[in-house]
Amino acid sequence: MQIFNDLPSLRAEIGLLRSHDARIALVPTMGALHAGHLALVEEAKARAHHVIASIFVNPTQFGPNEDLAAYPRTEQADVMQLDAAGVTALWMPDVAQMYPDGFASSIHVAGLSDRLDGAWRPGHFDGVATVVTKLFNQVRPDVACFGEKDFQQLAVIRQLVADLDLPVEIIGVETQRDVDGLALSSRNAYLQPRERSIAAALPETLVTAGEAIRSGEDAAAILSWATQHLMDWGFESVDYFTLCDERTLETMTKLDRPARLLVAARIGGTRLIDNIPIYP
């Protein structure tokens, strides 16, 4: 696996791959890799001749009181995992490469970026949309793989690709989970042992609430119960526990079309998000 830190060298390599009519897949990450990221790599390998992974901890998607400085960085282990997984090349730019002096542009996906996590983390999805668009322009992939765990992020990226006529196929990959059901996330490393045991209530509550809504129980009542249930289990707050249209993420009051049940909750200073699909 080749590692690139400057854009001209990356583009030269991609040009070489393209000269052989190779199909290229991109797996964007912020490092601190786990089995969820490797599932993206495997999906990408099934859809292209070569996989380009990226590692870039994007400062523009962190708010002023969020964990940019504390975000886990495990560069050496990440490189070893990607190499073993069969990635062709790794793109590892620094902040100066991605946002040089004078950088002044931003992409805002209206509507999708403004609800749920967007309401709790103003500007977050502008940072996501901008850096992902830059990555697409830098790598020029035929296909890009993203995890469904960050479902709102996936929806935002799908919308910007459609709106901007970007020639890349977006693939959502099913959420990868630990043995207790907790969605794999780099931020799980922040959890203390007691918090980790409490966190397992998050996916359990999602499944229970989803089954109840699917069976015809009142959605508002179930969502209220689920929120209180998490608080009773030891979560410090619940930012949202909601039923949304799977495509638009607009709030739903009854299950009459494909939906997602989404939750964001906080424990011990760590904010966890998760979701599951629900179909009528």
- Residue 116: which pLDDT band, with cuts at 50, 70 and 90? very high
pLDDT of residue 70: 83
% of the chain beyond a pLDDT of 70: 100
Closest CA to 233 of 203, 188, 275, 274: 203
Closest CA to 117 of 159, 79, 152: 152
**What three-state secondary structure class fits 251?**
strand
Closest CA to 258 of 155, 145, 166: 155
Q: What is the pLDDT averaged over residues 151-162?
A: 98
Question: How far is 142 from 26, CA to CA, in rounded Å?
Answer: 8
Q: Is 20 a catalytic residue?
A: no
Residues 219-263: pLDDT tens digits? 999 999 999 999 999 999 999 999 999 999 999 999 999 999 999
Integer-rounded Cα Rg, in Å, for the chain is: 19
Residues 43-88: pLDDT tens digits? 999 999 999 999 999 999 998 878 788 888 999 999 999 999 999 9
pLDDT of residue 9: 97
pLDDT of residue 215: 97
The sign of the torsion formed by the CA atoms of 34, 194, 121, 68 equals negative
Q: How many Cα atoms sit within 13 Å of 238 on the Cβ side?
A: 24
Closest CA to 24 of 159, 135, 149: 135
pLDDT of residue 64: 82
- Residue 169: which pLDDT band, with cuts at 50, 70 and 90? very high
- Residue 102: which pLDDT band, with cuts at 50, 70 and 90? very high
Q: What is the pTM of this model?
A: 0.96
20, 34, 37, 108: the active-site residue: 37
- DSSP string for residues in 90-153: EE---HHHHS-TT-------TTTTTSTHHHHSTTHHHHHHHHHHHHHHHH--SEEEEEGGGHHH
pLDDT of residue 174: 97
Strand-pairing partners, residue 53, are 27, 90
Helix H or strand E segment including 83: helix 75-84
pLDDT of residue 257: 97
Q: How many other C-beta atoms lie within 10 A of the C-beta of residue 104?
A: 5
Question: How far is 182 from 190, CA to CA, in rounded Å?
Answer: 14
pLDDT of residue 69: 84
Strands (E), the chain: 2-4, 24-29, 50-55, 89-91, 143-147, 169-173, 237-245, 259-267, 270-278
Which strand ranges, in their side-by-side order, compose the sheet holding 143-147? Answer: 2-4, 89-91, 50-55, 24-29, 143-147, 169-173
Q: Which two tokens stand for residue 206?
A: 């999602």
pLDDT of residue 251: 97
Question: How far is 177 from 184, CA to CA, in rounded Å?
Answer: 5
Question: How far is 176 from 191, CA to CA, in rounded Å?
Answer: 18
Considering the chain, what is the average pLDDT of its residues?
Answer: 96
Domain architecture of the chain: domains with CATH = 2-173 (3.40.50.620), 186-272 (3.30.1300.10)
